[in-house]
Amino acid sequence: AQSVSQHNHHVILSEAASLELGCNYSYGGTVNLFWYVQYPGQHLQLLLKYFSGDPLVKGIKGFEAEFIKSKFSFNLRKPSVQWSDTAEYFCAVTRKAAGNKLTFGGGTRVLVKP
């Protein structure tokens, strides 16, 4: 079945550690890729998005993600996390054939210990 997969359900790390969250999708054709973040008690917010062009995209709060078409991947990275990065992170995909309907991955809960 076509889907979006996030490999890690929970990640625990210390401040200043590097973070990488994996995301793979199984759709063919043209896709748009997103990472959303949900801080505790808050709404989903867009971190970054990829539509076309440079496959390395930079988002807010020092996050970046790399689109590797051959691997159907869109991994999220941050070189040095802070305690305030504690949140749940969602990868999501839209397909040009399916309008703006976002299909989400299962989410990764990240806990950054001070």
Partner 1 sequence: EPEVTQTPSHQVTQMGQEVILRCVPISNHLYFYWYRQILGQKVEFLVSFYNNEISEKSEIFDDQFSVERPDGSNFTLKIRSTKLEDSAMYFCASSGLAGGTGELFFGEGSRLTVL
- CB of 88 within 8 A of CB of 38? yes
Which window, 16-24, 36-44, 62-70, 71-79, contacts partner 1 (CB under 8 A)? 36-44
Nearer to partner 1, 15 or 39 (CB): 39
Which window, 15-23, 40-48, 55-63, 69-77, contacts partner 1 (CB under 8 A)? 40-48
Both structure tokens of 87: 């949140």
Residue 34: Cβ within 10 Å count = 24
Helices then strands, each counted (H, E), the chain: 0, 12
Interface residues with partner 1 (CB under 8 A) are 32, 34, 36, 42-46, 49, 51, 90, 92, 94-96, 98-107
